[in-house]
Amino acid sequence: MTRQTIHTSQAPQAIGTYSQAIRVDRTVYVSGQIPTDPATGELVTGEMRLQAQRAFGNLRAIATAAGATLDDAVRVTIYLTDLKHFGVVNETMAQYFREPYPARVTIGVAALPRGAQIEVDCILVNDLPS
């Protein structure tokens, strides 16, 4: 088994004891991304569409750093503090993922780090050498 830490300055730095992503052989496990702007370190607030775009953009940046794309996603998990945003997040996700879409689960939660309203993680599988 080959294990590699994935890191990019194009996504927010980890704010805890975790890595942005870990590759194990052909599989990349991407840590949850909240809508933090990697350039400023500030949380994107306001309209949920903008928050979702930032969170998915952070996922995409980490996938790129791993030599993958979001087309390699096999599983996505979305955490929302208010499930009323499900439709907007679903529409936004369609801007970042293509058919065949990955398996997905959306979970309503009481709170997220830094007061975020959305967090997204994913698992990627690609054919790049590890």
User: CATH number of the domain that 72 lies in?
Assistant: 3.30.1330.40
**CA–CA dist 80, 84 (Å, integer):** 9
Q: Which domain holds residue 76?
A: 3-125
Q: Judge whether 24 lies within some domain.
A: yes
Within a domain: 109: yes
82-86: average pLDDT: 98
In a domain, 25, yes or no: yes
pTM of the model: 0.95
How many residues appear in the chain?
A: 130
User: Is 54 domain-assigned?
Assistant: yes
- Is residue 31 in a domain? yes
Kindly tell me if the per-residue pLDDT of 114 is higher than 70.
Answer: yes
Query: Would you say residue 78 has pLDDT above 90?
Result: yes
pLDDT one-digit tens code per residue, 22-67 = 999 999 999 999 999 999 999 999 999 999 999 999 999 999 999 9
Residues 6+ apart with CB under 8 A from 119: 32, 33, 34, 55, 78, 79, 112, 113
Q: Is residue 130 part of a domain?
A: no
In order of 42, 108, 130, the CA distances from 122 in angstroms are 22, 17, 18
79 located within any domain: yes
- Is residue 50 situated within a structural domain? yes
Number of domain units in the chain: 1
Strand pairing class (21-24; 27-33)? antiparallel
